[in-house]
Structure 1
Amino acid sequence: MSLRILLLAPSSDRLSALSNALPQRGEATQIASRIGGAAELSAAILRDEVDIAVAELPVVSDTELSLIEATLSSHPRTTLILACGDSSSEFLLRAMRAGIREIVLPNSPPDALAKALERQLDRHAAVSGPARKARTIAFMSAKGGGGATFLATNLGFALAARNRKVALLDLNLQFGDASLFVSDQRASRNIADVAREIDRLDPAFLEANMMHPQAGYCVLAAPEAPERAVDVKAETIERIMAVARARYDFVLLDVGRVLDKVTVRALDEADTIYVVIQSTLPYLHNAKRLIGVLVGLGYDRDKVKVILNRYVKSDEIGVSEIEKTLGAKVEVQIPNSYAAVAYSINHGLSLLKHAPRDPVARSLSEIAMDFAPDAPRRTGWLRGVFGSSA
């Protein structure tokens, strides 16, 4: 269902100015405009006509602020963005306590109103949008050093290159290092920081705590210190994933090999679990046990798939023998290309950017094309809501 957005100002001139402060748009039936003040704003909200109100009220009296507070209290799902002239700290504090989500002042940047609306559109998408928007894919290595982190991080690059919005969550909480695969810079914030301020969680807060290695690609790093992992609970992961799934097209999970409550909660939410193996006996031994555990947890066999990494046709253990041993089909084969992959990892680069013709890069591109067969032009939230300009 489309969001109902109300634009309100005290005069037709101010309403026009308010409208012009937002991006140009064509016809959009969910947008309503109204001349009025606090009373008219309150009446529209009380009639349940508004999901997001963008109101210009140059001066807000104590009585009007009390009216707004009572109205928003009775309709907590309604968001109010207020453009006003009172920049006093006392008023701003009272306005926040009244439930006004965003305040735009006369000295704010020209695009402040548009950015405020975009933040609230994101918030509504997370709270009210489809519970399962993003395709969620988990990667688990059957044995240490299997290459799950490399595949997950570089698949993120490949999907983002196809104009998809991608989030990667590093859920190897004790020893996760996905951030090193996407950047040569240390992550300034991580999942433990989000967990400590979980009450602030919305799409904007989540994205502010993530790394941005490529346009459309965000990575939430694991804690820098293993002991910080205790801050991350299963409920925290569930909330983070709910926000991420409503915000992104793909959510990739780099999962550690410890099957604790946090890991299981994340795997519950995944559409597909890829077990990453190599063609050696220890990998097959661990993979068979891991697949058995995952099936024992109640995951359908169609949800648990196998990726054979660093595969060479001359390997002593062939694909047919692997499938017979595991009782599962090898869904994806990734060739071996040690030098190019090692360089990519050591420099925190996307392999697709460093060596796009490399066999591994081509394999990742093919997987991304499978997951995202078309590559639409990226559009913003605001253009999606308002339509294209006339």
Structure 2
Amino acid sequence: MPHTDNHLTRRVFRRGPVAETRRVVELLRREAVGGFLLVGAAITAIVMANSPAADLYQRFRDTRIGYEPWHLELTVGQWASDGLLAIFFFLVGLELKRELVAGQLRSARAAIVPVFAAVGGVIAPAVLYLAINWGHEGVDGWAIPTATDIAFAVAVLAVVGRGLPASLRLFLLTLAVVDDLIAIAIIAVVYTEKVNLTPLLAATVPVAVFGILAHRYADWFALRRWAAWAVLLPLGVVAWALVHASGIHATIAGVALGFMIPVRRGGSGLAEQFEHRFRPISAGFAVPAFAFLSAGVAVGGLTGLGEVFTDPVALGILIGLVIGKPVGILAATWLTVRFTRSALDPSVRWADLTCVGVLAGIGFTVSLLVTELSLTADSTTLEHGKTAVVIASALAAVLAGAVLALRNRRGKQAAATRSILP
């Protein structure tokens, strides 16, 4: 057991600085709104895909637009996953840099728990998926259940998890950021079949110019809203198009550009300005549009659901997200606390961490993206994989909501008991 002497141990999940806590609370509030829009878009897509409008929905999703000589003649669905999600990943890159420069990841002591928890939350689902699918054609989908959808998770948190300690909200955010970083690396390395070096090397030029201008004229871009649209956006579009032409998933360009934005410690800078400007676009349009175009799977009634639950790919996703995620996060957190001679802060209980672990099982956005990248060989398997992601995310949300609601009820009962005691 870890030491409990206050002089020998350090507390993990302690409440952070007031400014950082306020920033996280505001960020989670905005993510919660986006999460509700995301869920609404996904439900609409599922209803349409299983209604008389299914053919119209499919034709719209498969409509091809764009300029073929530049390798940009894509379906509407591909424009959503390759283009719109680049906005989401731009904010992921921006948030990752903020965490490294001014957040929890700045300090190795503070970062060790969420980083190892995120790693555990990636390894356990992947192992469970591989154990179920080893020797089957769907083995390439092992990364599908490794992702966490922060917007969807925070939407659940906003409804029933307001009593959760602020430190755990920050932990969930940091864990999701590290989780997204791992997912980005997997997408770039594992799901890139062939790399064309010429456009990839060419992409470094607009990315570098983007970074130089963002740093040198940060105040100018912060004060004049039109400047970023007129100067930085064209550079970003060129970088995105070149990365797309290279064969690497184009959302990686969004991460690289987000990492180019300067972050100012302890004050409002360009990163803060861009987050305020672009998060509503991402949460209010880009991610819900992707969810609408990706989550529309034809269930096919009870027979179709029966086929899903007997497909090893779907089972691997379901078990990976609903069981693997919380088990991996809790195990990694316990081992980290155990072997770093640490103790949980008195305001945090293992039951609270279990809630966070179950919430992290909501994969959705990035899981759907990885499904589309990994299960392209067979359309039936692809549909089963997407259905499993939707069901697993919904199940994780319901389980987390139930656990959080039970926790809140017990907390209120304990408070009422204390108030009537002499």
Query: Which of structures 1 and 2 has the larger relative contact order (alpha carbons within 8 angstroms, sep 6+)?
Result: 2
Greater share of residues in helix: 2
- Larger Cα Rg: Structure 1 or Structure 2? 1
Greater share of residues in strand: 1
TM-score (norm 1): 0.28
TM-score (norm 2): 0.26
